[in-house]
Chain A
Amino acid sequence: MSKELFEAMAQSVIQGDEEAAADLARQSLAQGIDPLVAINQGFVVGINQVGAQFSSGDMFLPELVAAGEAMKTAVAVLEPEMARQGTHRQILGKVVIGTVEGDIHDIGKTLVATMLSAGGFQVYDLGVDVPIQKFVEKAREVGADIVGLSALITTTMGRQKDVIEALDDMGLRPQVKVMVGGAPVTRQWAAEIGAEGYSEDAVGAVNVAKQLMGA
C-alpha cells in the first residue's frame, strides 16, 4: 500500500507535477505516514533519479527545475505536520540568497535557489535588488551557513564585495561562507573578494554548496 504511494510520490517528482506531489503528500498525511518517511522513501527517490538522469544527459534543465519545484511543494505540505511532531527534515545547511542591490536580474539566482532547495538545503530567497544590510540581517536571524550573492552587471558586482565586508564587520565570518555567481563574475573575482564558493551554473552551485558544508 505505502509502497505504491511512495512510488507515485517519486513519479510525481520525476514528472515535475506539483499538483500530484501535493496531493500525494496530503494522502500520506491522511494515512498517518510519518512525513520524514514520505519524503525520504518517496519524493527524494524521485529527485535522486532525476539528478542521475540529468547527469547522464537524459534529462534537461527544465525537467530538473520542475522536479525541484514539485519536491518543494510536497515538503511544504508536510512541514506543518513535521513541526507539530517536533521533527524536521535533515538539511545540509541554511542558505540566504539574493541578487545584489541595483540589480534586478532574477532567473539565475532563482534557479540556484531551487536547485539548492531540491538538493537538501533550507533556502531563504530574498529576491532581487537586495540591500547589503538585508543580507546581513537575514543571515544573522536564521543562522545562515551560506550567503549566495548574484550579480549580472559589471557595475553591481562590487556589491558582492560590500556584502562580504558587511558580514565581516558584523563578525559573522568565517562561520558564514559566501558563494557568488552571475554572468560577469569569474573565479578570480570570487577569490579576490574572499568568496569561498563560485559556480558558473545552478547545478554546479549545489556541488559547491555541499563542499562548503563539508558534505
Chain B
Amino acid sequence: MAGKIKSISNPRLSLNLFSPQDIQRIHTATLDVIENVGVRFPSKRALDIWEAHGATVDRDKMVVKAPGQLIEEALKNAPPDYSLAARNPEQDLPLDGNHVFVGTDGCGVEVLDIQTGERRRSCLNDVAEIARVADALEEVAFHWVAVSAQDYPEKTRSLHELLAIWKNSTKHVQTESITKENEARLAVEMAEAIAGGREALRQRPLLSIMQCTAPPLGQDGGSVDAALVGAEAGLPVGFMTMASCLTTGPATLAGNLVVGNAEVISATALIQLAFPGAPVFYAAAQTASDLRSGAYTGGGPEDFLLGAAGNLLSDFYNIPLSMGSFATGAKEPDWQAGIENSLSTFMASIVMSDMLLGVGLLHGSRIWSYEQMLMDCEIFNIVAKTLQGILVDDETLALDAIKAVGPGGNFLTQKHTRKHMRELFLPQLMDRRPYNAWEEKKNGAREWALTKARQILAEHQPEPLDPALSSELHHIITSVPK
C-alpha cells in the first residue's frame, strides 16, 4: 500500500515580513542589476537564446544584460501551478500555493552509518537505503539525491543515483546532482521509460531538475544546459541561489536578496524564452556567511528571514518555490540542529513555500544522519500543527463542557474531551516520561529516531520497479561510453 503524504495546508498563521513596496523595490533593483551589471551564462546555447531575444550578450565574458521588460514578459509565461508526478499517482504533489511538502536534503558526501554510527564516505547503497526509509515516511513527500554515490564513476553517478531512488520509492524525484547536458538527456530517457513515453512524461513529470546558480550573478554552464534539456522534455526545472551575505552577496539581507533574485529570475526567464510555458520553480537557500571563517552557515536569524523572503519573491513572480530549510550547520543532531531546523522550517512554512529541502543532513548539508532525518520529520509535524493556529467557534469554545464541569472537577471524562483529544499533538520523539522513567534508561530522541529508522530499513518493502523496466534503465546508463 502506498504511503500517504503529509503536507501543510490552509495555515491560520501569517507573517508580515515585506510590504508590497518592499517587494517592488527588490524587484526593481534586481532588474537594474540584470540590465546594467548582467549575469554570466557560460553556455553557448543560453547565449544564443538571449541574443535571439534581443539581450546584450558579451561573448567573451559570457555576460548577458537583458532589459527588464524582456525578463518580466518572459516570466509571465511561467505556469503558476502544476503537479510533481510520482510513480504512484496517489503521491502526486500539487504545487498550488496551498501545500508545503518536504523532501530529503542533498547532496551529502558522508553518512553516519545506521548500524555503527561511524562517519564514512557515502555510496550508492546509502542512496538506495535513504530512499527506502523516505518512502516509508509520510512527512517526506519527494526525494532529492540525499548523498553522493561516490563508489560510482562521475560520468554516470547521477544516473545511478536516480535509478537507486526509483527502485526504492514510488515518490517524486527531484535531482540536484545532474549538471551536464548529456546526463540530463539520459535522465529524461530514463524518466520517459518509467512514465511510458515522451508525451506521458510531459503529462506526468516523474522527475524534476534543480540546478544551483553560481553566485554572485553567475550560472554554471553545464547546469543551464541540463536545465534546458529538462525543460524541453516538460520536466519542472528550478534554479537555486545560495548567495550568502558577506561572501557571495552583500552583507545586508536586502542586497543579498537582490543578488540571488537576479540569478534565479534571469535563469528562469531564459527557460521561458526557450520554452514558453515550461513548468519552472524558484529555489533559494540563502544565508549569511560566518564572520570568522566565511563559511556557509546553514542557520541563524538571517537564514530564517531569507527563508521566508524567498516565498514572497516567488509569489510575486507567481511560480512555485523550493526553499532550503532544515540543513543545519550543526555537526551532530543536537541543540543547534533543533533550533536551526525548527526556526528555518517554521519561517519557510508560514509563508507556504511549496517545497522544503530538506531532512537528514548535518554540517551544512554534508553529513547524512538517519537520526536527524527522523527528528526533522518531527520538527515538520510540530510546525504543521502550530500553523493550524487556534480555531474559535461554538464547538471549540466548549461552553457546554465548561458548564458541565464547573468550578473544580476535571475535563477528562467529558465527551467533548474525547471528541477532540486526538487533535492535540502527540510527539513521537519528545521525552515526556516521568523523571524516574528517564533516569532508568537515560535515552531519548536520538536513540528512538535511530531505532525507528533501523526498523523501517529492516521491514519496509517499497513497491518495486518492474524487472524489465529496471533492466531497461540499467541499459540506458550502461550506454554511456566509459
**Residue ranges of A at the interface with B (Cβ–Cβ < 8 Å):** 54, 57, 60-62, 102, 104-105, 107-108, 111, 153-155, 158, 183-184, 186, 188-189, 200-203
Q: Is the CB of B291 within 8 A of A60?
A: yes
Chain A positions within 8 Å of B272 at CB level: none
Specify which of A155, A183, A184, A202 is in contact with B179 (CB 8 Å cutoff): A155
> For window 410-453 of chain B, which residues contact chain A by CB distance below 8 Å?
none
Contact partner, A203, options B148, B248, B293, Cβ 8 Å: B293
Residues of chain A within 8 A of B154, CB atoms compared = 155, 158
Task: Give B231-255 as 1s and 0s: 1 = Cβ < 8 Å from A's Cβ atoms.
Answer: 0000000000000001110010000
Given A107-B247, A155-B154, A158-B154, A200 and B220 contact (CB-CB distance below 8 Å): no
Is B110 in contact with chain A by the CB < 8 A criterion?
yes
* A104 adjacent to B218 (CB under 8 Å): yes
Secondary structure dominating the interface of B: loop
Some 12 contacts from A to B, beta carbons below 8 A apart, are A62-B291, A104-B42, A107-B248, A111-B294, A155-B157, A158-B154, A183-B296, A184-B148, A189-B121, A200-B295, A201-B294, A202-B293
Annotate B140-160 by CB proximity to A: 1 below 8 A, 0 otherwise. 000000001010001001100
Knowing A104-B214, A105-B214, the reply to whether A153 touches B293 (Cβ < 8 A) is no
Interface residue count for B (Cβ, 8 Å)? 31
Q: A60-B292, A155-B157, A201-B295 are in contact. Are A188 and B246 (CB under 8 A)?
A: no
B residues neighboring A (CB under 8 Å): 42, 107, 109-110, 121, 148, 150, 154, 157-158, 177, 179, 214, 218, 220-222, 246-248, 251, 289-296, 364, 366
Q: A181 to chain B: closest CB distance in Å? A: 11
Q: Are B110 and A202 closer than 8 Å at their CB atoms?
A: no
Using Cβ atoms and an 8 Å threshold, which residues of chain B touch A57? 292
* Residue with the greatest number of chain B CB neighbours at <10 A, chosen from A111, A155, A200, A203: A155
Complex CA gap A154/B109 in Å reads 7
The main secondary structure of chain A at its interface with chain B is: loop
Expressed in whole angstroms, the Cα–Cα distance for A186 and B110 within the complex equals: 9
State the CA gap A80–B246 with chains docked (Å): 34
Chain A residue, CB-CB nearest to B221: A104
Q: Give Cα A177 to B353, complex, Å.
A: 47
**Complex Cα gap A153–B107 (Å):** 10
Query: Which residues of chain B come closer than 8 Å to A201, judged between CB atoms?
Result: 293-295
Bound state CA distance, A104 and B177, in angstroms? 16
- Interface contact B294-A202, CB-CB below 8 Å: yes
Determine the chain A residues whose CB is within 8 A of the CB of B292 once the complex forms. 54, 57, 60-61, 203
* Pairs of residues from A and B, 9 with the lowest C-beta to C-beta distance, nearest first: A154-B148, A201-B293, A60-B291, A184-B109, A155-B154, A61-B294, A107-B247, A154-B109, A104-B214
B293 neighbours in A (Cβ, 8 Å): 61, 200-203
Q: Which residues of B contact A155 (CB under 8 A)?
A: 148, 154, 157-158, 177, 179
Q: A188, B121: Cβ atoms under 8 Å?
A: yes
Taking CB atoms, residues of chain A closer than 8 Å to B294 are 61, 107-108, 111, 201-202
User: How long is the Cα–Cα vector from A61 to B251 in the complex, in angstroms?
Assistant: 12
User: A160 to chain B: closest CB distance in Å?
Assistant: 12
Distance of A153 Cα from B154 Cα, bound (Å): 11
Question: Closest A-chain residue to B294, C-beta based?
Answer: A61
- Shortest distance in angstroms between B118's beta carbon and chain A's nearest beta carbon? 12
